[in-house]
Amino acid sequence: MAHILQIDSSPRGDRSFSRKFSDEFITAWKNAHPEDKVTYRDIGHNRIPHVDESWIAAAFTPPDARTPELTKAIELSDTLVDEFLAADRYVFGVPMYNFNVPSAFKAYIDQIVRAGRTFAVTEQGGFKGLVEGKKMLIITARGGDFSPGSPAAPYDYQEPYLRTIFGFIGITDITFINVENLGAGDQAREQSFAKAHEAVAQAVANW
């Protein structure tokens, strides 16, 4: 039995395309694997706070040396890290904002990428990811066409960043479904939807 952590990061509701296809995947997956567990977190509507000075002090203070204030400052991060580590697989819905991820999703990443929890610093000064043997599916929604070879492709800092940051903590088995060109009119949008529906079905079959 797999344990999936599903996260949506769009502030939009029913009009969100990243939510539309992450929900489509999870619905199809649960139909095929009813025994699997899904934990859901909506950070588009329930925002994760950004890292602040108290958080930094807490993160670099041993747990047994933290004051009550520092323990409180890192409490949500501990919860998010525990939740992240408890899952075997991840399904993230992430719209593209200004060529990268929304600040809500960046705040989430900053809360879970933590020394001693999701990565380690080696004696040689290098880094080692501590989250291994996991799979991740990231569904993005983009107003333009950022596919390889397109004029806008060099502006795609979203997929490279997500591959880098999750690879840094040890997750390298990452599948992307990029729903492209959503702002180019009805015909282009329908073509993108058709490709995304097919990609979701393939992911359900092969993930």
In tens, the pLDDT along 86-107 reads 999 999 999 999 999 999 999 9
Domains held by the chain: number:
1
Distance CA 83, CA 85 (A): 6
The overall average pLDDT reported for the chain is: 95
- Token pair 């991820």 is found at 101
CB atoms within 10 A of CB 113: 19
CB atoms within 10 A of CB 56: 12
Residue type, 19: R
Distance CA 77, CA 60 (A): 13
Give the per-residue pLDDT at 183.
Answer: 85
Residue 195 is part of which domain span? 3-206
Tell whether the model's pLDDT for residue 123 goes beyond 90. no
In tens, the pLDDT along 51-80 reads 999 999 999 999 999 999 999 999 999 999
In the chain, % of residues over pLDDT 90: 90
User: Which residues are bridge partners to 194 per DSSP?
Assistant: none
Distance CA 178, CA 189 (A): 12
Beta strands 3-8 and 37-42, pairing class = parallel
Contact 156, 99 (CB under 8 A): yes
Give the per-residue pLDDT at 125.
Answer: 86
**Strand ordering across the sheet containing 37-42:** 37-42, 3-8, 89-95, 135-141, 173-179
Contact 67, 129 (CB under 8 A): no
φ, ψ of residue 174 in degrees (nearest 5): -120, 125
Say which CATH number the domain at 31 has: 3.40.50.360
